[in-house]
Each structure stands twice: as structure tokens, then as C-alpha cells.
């Protein structure tokens, strides 16, 4: 059988291409596919990666089928829904924060809380020239939609917007904008903080930082328990 393998961030550099097709025996599991890839070239990551099958997070024991799309997802750096309850969007255009914030406000809201992530000019003392963001776009859009829905349900807020920029960003540009509107400030603050913290660990978006003296893929936040492939178990297989 044949499966399509797509990789992102540092794993794309590891495999030498973002996409490739692998021929595998029937009944091959995700774990067995990873073993095959590691035999060719040991993974550069010491922390766990996550695996998706057909744009859904997958366990290591899942049996692959002919035509499956397998995503190799390093820890994340990190078409969509819109409406009165919020907006989730990936975009290659500059984020117009003022317009998005203004459109979120309604008469019943007592608070609008905003997180606006900005590209800064240095990281750990190294001067930054620019950043490049890439995403597993289909999967990222689904995850962002789900986070917005969960925030509204879990925190009781009326509106939750998540907009993330892709492509090349210059110093001072917005990389991610989160806007939460609610009748009460407490729920709005809690939901906004939860959204950015959870986005950084679950939504498959990666950042490459270009400095005056080189470029690196940014270290990502560890995946939540249950999503990361256990590297130690792979090495013992």
C-alpha cells in the first residue's frame, strides 16, 4: 500500500522534503512507520513529536490504510469559520488588529480582552531579521475552530476570535491575534489566556527565526499528554 507523508518545521528539513510517498506492507502501524523513518536517519528531536492521520491526531498503534495522509508534527511554535460568535482564520495578509477588535464588540459586552502577538527584534540576545510561519493548514484550521468553540462553552464568553499569520513576517507585525468578548471581564481574561496557551501546544503551526548570524526552527511547546509519540518507546521497539 502507499501512504503520503507530509512533514513540517524541523522535520521537513530532517526528511529532505515536505512531502513523499512511502510503500508499506498492509497492516503497518504508525509506530512501525516511524521506526522505518528513524532507520534511514535518526530524528533530530529529543522531545516527542505528534502524528496525524488524515488531518486528525493519531495514536502510535493506529493501523494505516492505502491512501492515508500521515503528518509528522514537531512541537508547535506557536478556510475557517466566522460569524457573530467569532472568527478563526489563517492568513498570509497583514492582520488588521484594530478592525478585528472593533468588529468583535457588541452592546451586551462588558469587556473585550485582546492578545496581540508581535514579532520582536531579538531572541535571547540574537538580533532577529524576520520570521517565517508555516502550518498544516487544513488541520490547523480545524483545531482553531475547535478551540474557539471550546472557549465559548468552557468560559461562558460570547465571542472568541483567533487569527494567525503565515508566511514571512517583519519586525513589529502581528503573528497571532486573539480577541475575546464577554459580559464580564473575568471570563474574558481567563478565556484569552487559555486560548493562547492551548494554541501554542495543539495547533500545528511552526516558526523559523532568521537572525543576522543564521536561522533556526524555534523550539516548540511540548504536546499535551496523549498526543506526543513516546520517543523512548520508539527507541526500545
Burial category of 153 from C-beta neighbours within 10 Å (exposed 0-12, middle 13-18, buried 19 and up): exposed
Asked if the model's pLDDT at residue 233 lies above 90, the reply is no
Q: What is the pLDDT of residues 11-28, one digit of tens each?
A: 887 777 778 899 999 999
Asked if the model's pLDDT at residue 127 lies above 80, the reply is yes
Find out if CATH 3.30.420.40 is the number for domain 2-75+222-236.
no
CB count within 10 Å of CB 38 equals 14
Provide the residue ranges of all domains of the chain, joining segments of one domain with +: 2-75+222-236, 82-217
Taking phi first (over 0 means left), then psi (-120 to 50 degrees means alpha), and beta for anything else, what does residue 226 get? left
Please give the pLDDT value at position 11.
Answer: 80
Q: What is the pLDDT of residues 160-206, one digit of tens each?
A: 999 999 999 999 999 999 999 999 999 999 999 999 999 998 899 99
| Position with higher pLDDT, 39 vs 108 | 108
Please give the pLDDT value at position 46.
Answer: 43
Whole-number Å distance between alpha carbons of 191 and 189: 6
Please give the pLDDT value at position 138.
Answer: 87
Average pLDDT, the chain: 87
| Position with higher pLDDT, 112 vs 75 | 112
Would the pTM of this model clear 0.75, i.e. be above it? Answer: no
| Position with higher pLDDT, 118 vs 228 | 118
| Position with higher pLDDT, 84 vs 98 | 98
Please give the pLDDT value at position 108.
Answer: 94
Task: Give me the CATH code for the 82-217 domain, please.
Answer: 3.90.1170.40
Task: Kindly compute the dihedral angle of the four CA atoms of residues 75, 193, 56, 39, in this order, to the nearest 10 degrees.
Answer: 10
Whole-number Å distance between alpha carbons of 56 and 69: 10
Please give the pLDDT value at position 237.
Answer: 42
Please give the pLDDT value at position 13.
Answer: 78
Amino acid at each position: 500500500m502507499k501512504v503520503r507523508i507530509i512533514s513540517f518545521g524541523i522535520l521537513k528539513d530532517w526528511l529532505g522534503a515536505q512531502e513523499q510517498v512511502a510503500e508499506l506492507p498492509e497492516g503497518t502501524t504508525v509506530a512501525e512507520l516511524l521506526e522505518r523513518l528513524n532507520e534511514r536517519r535518526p530524528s533530530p528531536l529529543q522531545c516527542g513529536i505528534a502524528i496525524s492521520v488524515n488531518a486528525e491526531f493519531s495514536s502510535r498503534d493506529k493501523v494505516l490504510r492505502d491512501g492515508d495522509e500521515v503528518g509528522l508534527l514537531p512541537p508547535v511554535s506557536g478556510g475557517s469559520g466566522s460569524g457573530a460568535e467569532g472568527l478563526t482564520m489563517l492568513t498570509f495578509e497583514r492582520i488588521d488588529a484594530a478592525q478585528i477588535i472593533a468588529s468583535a464588540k457588541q452592546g451586551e459586552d462588558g469587556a473585550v480582552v485582546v492578545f496581540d502577538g508581535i514579532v520582536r527584534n531579538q531572541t535571547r540576545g540574537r538580533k532577529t531579521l524576520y520570521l517565517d510561519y508555516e502550518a498544516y493548514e487544513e488541520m490547523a484550521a480545524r483545531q482553531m475552530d475547535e478551540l474557539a468553540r471550546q472557549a465559548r462553552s468552557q468560559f461562558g464568553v460570547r465571542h472568541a476570535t483567533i487569527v494567525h499569520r503565515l508566511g514571512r513576517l517583519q519586525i513589529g507585525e502581528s503573528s497571532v491575534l486573539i480577541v475575546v468578548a464577554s459580559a464580564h471581564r473575568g471570563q474574558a481574561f481567563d478565556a484569552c489566556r487559555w486560548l493562547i496557551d492551548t494554541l501554542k501546544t495543539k495547533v500545528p503551526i511552526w516558526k523559523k527565526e532568521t537572525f543576522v548570524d543564521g536561522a533556526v526552527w524555534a523550539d516548540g511547546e511540548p504536546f499535551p499528554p496523549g498526543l506526543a509519540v513516546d520517543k523512548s518507546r520508539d527507541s526500545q521497539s
